Each structure stands twice: as C-alpha cells, then as structure tokens.
Amino acid sequence: MPIFLATGTICFLVMLFVTFWYTDLINSPNAKFACLALSPTVLFSCLMSIYRGYYQGLSNMIPTAISEIIEAISKVVFGLGFANLFMRISMSEFAAKGTVFGKICSSCEIAENEALPIAAMGAIFGITLGSFLGFLFLLIRHKKVGDGITSQDLAFSPIPMKAKHMIKSLVKIAVPIAFGALIMNLGGLVDTIIIRRQLYKIMNDFSQPLLKMYGDNIPQDKIVSQEVHSFISGCLGYVSSIVMLVPGVIQMLGISALPAVTKAWTLKNFLRLEKSIKIIIKITTIFVVPAGVGLFTFGHSILNLFYSNTRTSEVNIASGIMTTMSIATIFTAMSVSVCSMLQAIGKVKLTMLLICIGTVIKIIVNYILVGIPTINIKGAGIGSFFCYSFVFFCGLYFLFKECRINIKTSISIFLKPTCASVFSAFLCSTIYKNIEPILSKNNSTIFVLFSFVIIYISLLFFFGIINFQNLKKIKDKI
C-alpha cells in the first residue's frame, strides 16, 4: 500500500505542475483545464491497482471486472453530464450577457469555441470521478467481503517472506514492467508533441497543400485562429477512441492468462505451456483480426454512425486515419497478448526492451511522415503499425523459442481467422452497396455490422477454427 500510494501521489503532483509547460509546448493552452482535471486519476489508478492485482493473483477477476464496469459507466454518465452542464451554463451566459465566463463573444460560434475547453474539462473530470468510484468500490468490497482466505488457510500457509525481501523481489519484477509502461506512455507523450508540432510547422510553411487536401472540412474559424493543427490532431482522437477498444479488451485476456502460463512455465510442463499459449493466441486472433478488418472496411460508416450528426468534417478527416489505424490495431492488440505471456515466463526485461525499441521506431516514423504535407496526420497510423508489428513479431519469435514451440505448426492459427475475416468483409461490403440506397446510412451500417458478425462466426465453424467441443475445453486447458 505505501509504495503505490507514494507513487500515485508523486505522479499526481508531477502531472499537476507539468500541465502548464506541456500545454504551451504543444501550442494548446486551452488544454490545461482538461489536464488538471485528469491529474487525480493517476493517484486513484495506483490505489485501484493494489486491490486489482491482489485479487487477480488469487485468480479472482470479479472485483476487477465490477470496478471496471463502475469506472466505465461513471466516465460516460458523469463525463457527458458535466460537459453538457458546462456548455449549457456557457451558452446561457452568452444569450443573457453576450459573454462566456466573462469574455465578450461577438457570435454564437465564437462563444461555443470559448466554452469548449471548459466543457472538455467537465468531460475529463468524469474520468477522474470514475476512477475514484472504482477505487471506492474495491476498498469497500475488501472491507466488507474480504478475500475468502480463512484463518485455517493462514494457519497452514507457508511462512511469509520478510518485508525487506518481499519489497526487493517486488521491485525486481515490477520496475522493468513499470519502466516499460513508462517508456510507452512517455513515447505516447512525445509522439503527441511531435504530431502537433509537425502539423503546426506544416501550417506555417506549407499550408496550401494541407488546406487543399482537406478543403471545406477545416472550419474557417480554425484557420483564422491558427488552430488547424489542433483540429486535425483532434480528429485522431475520434479514431483512437474506437480502435483502442480492441487492445483494451485483449489486455484483460492477457492478464487473466498470466497465472496459467506462469504455472506451466514454473512446472516446466512444456506440453501444457504450448497448449495454453496456442489457445490464448488463437482466441486473441479470433477477436482481433475481424475487428481490424471490419474497421478497415467499414471505418467511415462506423465513424458516421457515432459522430455524423454533429461532426461531419471531423469524420471525413478521421476516415483517412482509420485506414491505417485499423490495421495497426491488430498488431497493437496481438502485441499486448504476446507481451503478457513473455512477462508470465519471466522475460520482463526482454518485453521492456521490445517496447522501448518499438516506441523509438514509432517516434521516428511519425516525425518523418507527419511532417510530409501530403501524408500529415495519416502518418500516425503508419507509425503505430511499424511500432507494434515489430513488438509482435519479435515478441512472438522469442516466446516460441523459449517455450519450444514450432512456429511452422502455428501458422494456421493466424491464417484461417484472417481468411474468414477478409471473406466476411468482402461479402458484407457488397451487401452494404446494395442496401445503402434503400435504408438510411446508419441503419445500413448496423445491419452490415450485424451480418459481418454472423457470417464470420459461421465461417469459424465452417473452417473448423472452433467447434462446440473446443468451446467447452478452452477454460479447462487454460
């Protein structure tokens, strides 16, 4: 508890004080309100990790799952609620006095732009409140329900490690993992800075090719206020919020797989280890590949489904980013699963090294490609592709090598779901072209996505990728 509390508090304070420097560095001073609202989340996330990690170590995923549901629902409800509340307050003030938070605005459009940073702060505060409620649930549950360990279990348990040795062991394992995560997050931070600064540089030196490329999709007020770089980089957020759902789900699978893989590795039961690893990779592939292929094929339609009513310009720009990001998310999710298994067999430093190299690759590629006016923000997806494909392929090679698994016998694990996904996407794309003139765009998208899932699942059974007997055995094998 003291280690996590101290770490969370220090990181919270660092984020609090670095916010003003960071927002100036990326030429987005209005973002400071959202960053300040987000900073307490670091502390609450560290506190949640104490209980989540403890119960996961006991192979009890229920507390983690419930806390994540509470966290997710709270983010949506309170985030949207606060954002809507602040926008209403701002626009009511403008209607009554012609000002927004005391600043005179000459038009409704300018008033909305002035209100957006505060509304964004409200939305982000929903995240902070969600993390706090998730922690509060875990704390209360632990006090009221406990961990299920009885006094008899404790009486017959092995003699615990001394606190000094326990801390040393924890640091030895946790530091490389934490350092790898820190490098990835710092890499993401540097990546964000590079993307925004490169776009800012393009607008200063080569604005015409960029403006010509996006045409009327860039609002005139963004050009006048010199915030085109913020507007375009913001479009990346529309894509990220969708594509990052895939690795987010797979991350939970990776965490749940750690005890089984670690147990087989510790016992040196390589037959069981191979079965467990192949099942995990198979399940990951079955979920990840169709998600990436589906986003690649129907990316524009999916973005339209969520944002078209109010964000048509952003959707048009984001659709171009989705093309590369959808493929990148396949390797992002697969690398999460592979890295989890590498950590499970004790290859923590190797995982950290792969992540570090991948992050450097991503930064270099993004710096080069985003700086090219004809590529600009689309280069971010290409950078992610090179980063995570490197981590995945190298990680898979070392995982198979250490666990004595023949790569050639595992090719079908990836090949069959890929073929099923591509065929499903091709078939549904044809269906969409025929029904779109009849139904509305959104209804056509919903129908096609539903059809995609049905066709893909049918092909999984047809190709023998899964069967009912496999589904019954998966839990026991893992």
More confident residue, 327 or 5: 327
Give me the pLDDT at residue 29, please. Answer: 77
Query: Which residues have CB under 8 Å from 412's CB, separation 6+?
Result: none
DSSP symbol at 160: P
**Percent with pLDDT over 90 in the chain:** 20
Maximum average pLDDT range among 156-160, 165-169, 291-295, 407-411? 291-295
Exposure b/e, 161-171, CB count within 10 A at least 16 = b = eeeeeeeeeee
Which pLDDT tens digit goes with each residue over 457-467?
Answer: 999 988 888 77
CA quadruple 457, 458, 462, 463: dihedral positive or negative? negative
257 has a pLDDT exceeding 90? no
More confident residue, 230 or 415: 415
Which pLDDT tens digit goes with each residue over 30-86?
Answer: 788 888 888 899 899 888 988 888 887 777 778 888 888 888 888 888 888 888 888
Q: 470: pLDDT confidence band, cut at 50, 70 and 90? A: low
Q: 218: pLDDT confidence band, cut at 50, 70 and 90? A: confident
394 has a pLDDT exceeding 90? yes
306 has a pLDDT exceeding 90? no
Which pLDDT tens digit goes with each residue over 337-377?
Answer: 898 888 888 888 898 899 889 988 998 999 999 888 888 88
Cα 316 to chain centroid distance, Å, stands at 22
User: If you average pLDDT over residues 471-476, what whole number do you get?
Assistant: 56
C-alpha span between 62 and 252 (Å, rounded): 12
DSSP symbol at 267: T
Give me the pLDDT at residue 83, please. Answer: 85
Average pLDDT, the chain: 83
308 has a pLDDT exceeding 70? no
CA quadruple 56, 62, 65, 71: dihedral positive or negative? negative
C-alpha span between 184 and 171 (Å, rounded): 19
Answer whether 276's CB lies under 8 Å from 260's CB: yes
Q: 477: pLDDT confidence band, cut at 50, 70 and 90? A: very low
475 has a pLDDT exceeding 60? no
Q: How many CB atoms lie within 10 A of CB 295?
A: 24
C-alpha span between 268 and 271 (Å, rounded): 9
More confident residue, 120 or 106: 120
CA quadruple 451, 457, 463, 468: dihedral positive or negative? negative
Give me the pLDDT at residue 209, please. Answer: 82
Give me the pLDDT at residue 180, please. Answer: 66
Q: By C-alpha distance, which of 118, 98, 116 is closest to 106?
A: 98
Q: By C-alpha distance, which of 11, 12, 35 is closest to 23?
A: 35
Amino acid at position 432, single letter:
Y
Give me the pLDDT at residue 292, please. Answer: 93
Q: 468: pLDDT confidence band, cut at 50, 70 and 90? A: low
